[in-house]
Amino acid sequence: MMAPASPHSQPAPEPARDSERAPAVLTGALVRAARILGITQTRIGQALGLSGATVSRMFDGRYLLDSRSKEWELSALLVRMFRSLDSIVGADDEAARAWLKSAHDSLGGRPIDLIRSAEGLVHVVQYLDAARGRN
């Protein structure tokens, strides 16, 4: 007869902490949003201040965003932009892509061009947040 295993012999695996998963989650959300919205890797690189090679690795799953960097904050804003736009257009991906590529007098240009800079990205997000609040 075998003796029962001691509860201390094998520690139970510890679930991954949210902070450990966060880079993969935000990176995945950013790549998904970019693909749905038709935002090119070049434009993502411009928006985040990352090289083309780094963005390519990110889209291939070989680079995760750094939670202590500016790229993290800007990526969170891009995902927020996607979620706000998705909410406004009712998950109509084609309408979301069209909105991004259309000129909007109230924004002073096309959102796809404005998101190249942090200032433009913040402006687009604020505009969408306000529009969402009216709906």
In the prediction, which pLDDT does 75 show?
Answer: 97
Give CA separation, 10 vs 16, 69, 78, in Å.
18, 37, 43
Interatomic CA distance for residues 108 and 54, integer angstroms: 30
DSSP assignment, residue 67?
A: T
pLDDT in tens, 17-69: 666 899 999 999 999 999 999 999 999 999 999 999 999 999 999 999 999 99
Given a cut of 70, is residue 11 above it in pLDDT? no
In the prediction, which pLDDT does 20 show?
Answer: 80
Given a cut of 80, is residue 14 above it in pLDDT? no
Boundaries of every domain in the chain: 20-134
pLDDT in tens, 68-91: 999 999 999 999 999 999 999 998
In the prediction, which pLDDT does 7 show?
Answer: 45
Cβ contacts of 21 within 8 Å, gap of 6 or more: none
Sign of the torsion angle spanned by Cα atoms 31, 40, 68, 82: negative
Place of tokens 């902490």: 17
